[in-house]
């Protein structure tokens, strides 16, 4: 055991091959911002809120922000103490054990892969729209396929080159897209006139169930912000940078949603819901000249979004493979860029296949995008619910649960539970009534694999969710409180056993304390 490790703790190796200490706080922040894709959400979420809640859309955006802040704060309670490329799956396992670590991680993986698929389709649609604005677009199948390969190629290339490079591009492109959209939003304010729409902010809207139903969509708009937690092996000063980035991303995009929702609702009475919203809003606000720029910016934002969630999905696959829960091939890293390139390629291939199917489907690409996003949202909701249940349990276990942390975590559980119930009852119309079962079928396949591991390779099943790094402060606190020795018998695996059972494919680069 290396010197300085907490007494009774277990020192394990970081996932082999990932380049540590390469991402600064702003690059970590950029990953979360790009994965949450505020520019993409601003282009679509306000109209979705308006469709469900009418003039209550602005209140729905605020409710969504409150829930997201509760969620981000709860996750940060763990992120300040321990980080992992396993993200929320590892955090879930801390409180609920390896089985739920697998369910939470696999559910989040469904979300990331689903976002890669739907984001690819969105990127193709907006690139197509931009080219049509220039008069060089085409409805031919070969042209649509060319766009699919273009978007997927870019979304795979950037994360393979490295999370640092991808993060830099992500932040720049996201800012450009938001500036372009801001022109339309400001014009919407100005064209309406300098008076206040009191109907939108009437407290009576909070008495309508439709406002809270719309909040389901508002919460889904934040999905992806937690991806910063997957950069634990690569971030500098990871415990501080990740916990801060979680709240920064949520607060920034929450304010953006509210600022963007109010003026868009002012103009939605004349909006055609079958067409792209922002170009119509630009026309009604008198800034039609910005449409080509907006289409291009949103297209880039979609590509950036796919890049970010592909990076997160690849790291989830990497962690599962390093733990032995998935084939070891996913634990391979690029010899030059030190990135999990096999996972990136796998996610890119999935996005490519589904985008091609959507291109030739009679249902149409937009319909595929809507259905895929709905199934994807379930992956995030379930993963979020598990982690907010697990966090106070883990904090209690390590004697770090305070009344404030218990209250915040409890409120997060109640809020997310309400969101999930509103996705199920009242029963939505077809096909949305069966799409949750599509998610459950995919999750069931993953759980069946875990059961197989539990029976045939129990040592692997027990290792899921164990690769993480405690902060130095937390190591000292555990040692001072004699908590590590108390947990040693049941909750820690020795580094020697882990090294013997799961040899790494690449040279290890750093050590970590694994609190299980």
Which DSSP letter does residue 23 get?
B
Q: At a CB cut-off of 8 Å and minimum separation 6, what does 363 contact?
A: none
Q: Which of 316, 312, 334 is nearest to 325 (CA)?
A: 316
User: How sure is the predictor about 404, in pLDDT bands with cuts at 50, 70 and 90?
Assistant: very high
State the pLDDT at residue 131. 85
Q: Which of 37, 123, 95, 108 is nearest to 468 (CA)?
A: 95
Over residues 307-339, the pLDDT tens digits come to 777 877 887 788 778 777 788 888 887 777 777
State the pLDDT at residue 142. 84
Over residues 248-268, the pLDDT tens digits come to 778 888 888 888 888 888 877
| pTM for this entry | 0.76
Q: What CA–CA distance (Å, rounded) separates 392 from 405?
A: 7
Orientation angle between helical segments 57-79 and 403-424, nearest 10 degrees: 130
Q: What CA–CA distance (Å, rounded) separates 362 from 366?
A: 11
Do residues 504 and 360 lie in contact, with contact meaning Cβ atoms separated by under 8 Å?
no
Dihedral angle, C-alpha 163, 165, 171, 177, nearest 10 °: -110
Is the per-residue pLDDT at 493 higher than 80?
A: no
Q: What CA–CA distance (Å, rounded) separates 130 from 367?
A: 20
At residue 22, the 3 state secondary structure works out as coil
Over residues 405-426, the pLDDT tens digits come to 999 999 999 988 887 887 777 7
Over residues 110-121, the pLDDT tens digits come to 888 888 877 777
Is the per-residue pLDDT at 293 higher than 70?
A: yes
Do residues 93 and 107 lie in contact, with contact meaning Cβ atoms separated by under 8 Å?
no
Q: Which of 32-41, 181-190, 507-516 has the lowest average pLDDT?
A: 507-516
- % of residues, the chain, pLDDT over 90: 10
C-alpha pair distances (Å), 36 with each of 98, 213, 246, 248, 437: 27, 21, 11, 12, 25
Is the per-residue pLDDT at 442 higher than 90?
A: yes
Which DSSP letter does residue 505 get?
S
Peptide bond into 475 cis (omega under 30): no
Strand partners for 82: 470
Do residues 482 and 251 lie in contact, with contact meaning Cβ atoms separated by under 8 Å?
no
Is the per-residue pLDDT at 153 higher than 50?
A: yes
Count of C-beta atoms within a 10 Å radius of residue 391:
28
Is the per-residue pLDDT at 191 higher than 80?
A: yes
User: How sure is the predictor about 443, in pLDDT bands with cuts at 50, 70 and 90?
Assistant: very high
């Amino acid at each position: 055991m290396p010197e300085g490790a907490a007494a009774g703790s277990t020192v394990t190796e970081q996932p082999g091959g990932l380049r540590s200490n390469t991402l600064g706080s702003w690059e970590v922040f950029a990953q979360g911002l790009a994965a949450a894709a505020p520019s993409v959400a601003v282009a679509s979420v306000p109209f979705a809120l308006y469709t469900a809640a009418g003039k209550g859309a602005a209140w729905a955006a605020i409710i969504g922000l409150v829930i997201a802040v509760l969620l981000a704060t709860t996750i940060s309670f763990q992120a300040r103490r321990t980080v992992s490329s396993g993200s929320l799956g590892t955090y879930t396992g801390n409180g609920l054990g390896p089985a739920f670590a697998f369910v939470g991680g696999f559910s989040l993986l469904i979300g990331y892969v689903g976002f890669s698929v739907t984001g690819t389709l969105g990127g193709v649609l907006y690139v197509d729209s931009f080219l049509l604005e220039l008069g060089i677009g085409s409805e031919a199948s070969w042209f649509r396929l060319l766009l699919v390969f273009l978007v997927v190629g870019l979304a795979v290339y950037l994360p393979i080159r490295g999370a640092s490079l991808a993060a830099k591009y992500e932040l720049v492109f996201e800012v450009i897209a938001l500036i372009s959209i801001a022109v339309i939003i400001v014009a919407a304010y100005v064209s309406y006139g300098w008076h206040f729409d009191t109907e939108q902010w009437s407290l009576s809207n909070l008495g309508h169930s439709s406002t809270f139903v719309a909040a389901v969509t508002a919460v889904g708009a934040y999905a992806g912000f937690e991806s910063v937690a997957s950069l634990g092996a690569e971030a500098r000063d990871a415990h501080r940078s990740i916990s801060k980035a979680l709240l920064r991303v949520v607060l920034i995009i929450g304010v953006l949603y509210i600022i963007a929702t109010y003026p868009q609702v002012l103009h939605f009475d004349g909006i055609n819901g079958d067409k792209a919203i922002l170009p119509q809003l630009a026309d009604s606000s008198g800034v039609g000249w910005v449409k080509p720029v907006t289409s291009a910016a949103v297209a880039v934002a979609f590509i950036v979004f796919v890049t970010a969630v592909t990076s997160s999905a690849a790291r989830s696959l990497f962690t599962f493979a390093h733990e032995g829960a998935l084939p070891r091939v996913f634990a391979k890293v690029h010899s030059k860029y030190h990135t999990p390139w096999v996972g990136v390629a796998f996610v890119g291939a999935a996005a490519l296949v589904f985008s091609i199917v959507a291109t030739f489907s009679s249902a149409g690409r937009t319909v595929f995008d809507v259905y895929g996003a709905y199934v994807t949202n379930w992956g995030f909701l379930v993963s979020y619910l598990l982690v907010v249940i697990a966090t106070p349990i883990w904090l209690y276990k390590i004697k770090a649960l305070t009344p404030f942390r218990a209250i915040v975590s409890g409120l997060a559980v109640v809020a997310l539970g309400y969101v999930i119930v509103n996705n199920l009852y009242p029963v939505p119309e077809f096909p949305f009534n069966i799409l949750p079962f599509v998610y459950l079928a995919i999750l069931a396949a993953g759980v069946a694999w875990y059961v197989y591991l539990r029976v045939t390779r129990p040592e692997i099943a027990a290792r899921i969710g164990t690769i993480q790094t405690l902060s130095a402060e937390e190591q000292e606190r555990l040692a001072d409180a004699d908590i590590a020795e108390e947990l040693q018998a049941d909750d820690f695996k020795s580094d020697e056993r882990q090294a013997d059972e799961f040899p790494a494919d690449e040279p290890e680069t750093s050590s970590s304390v694994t609190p299980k």
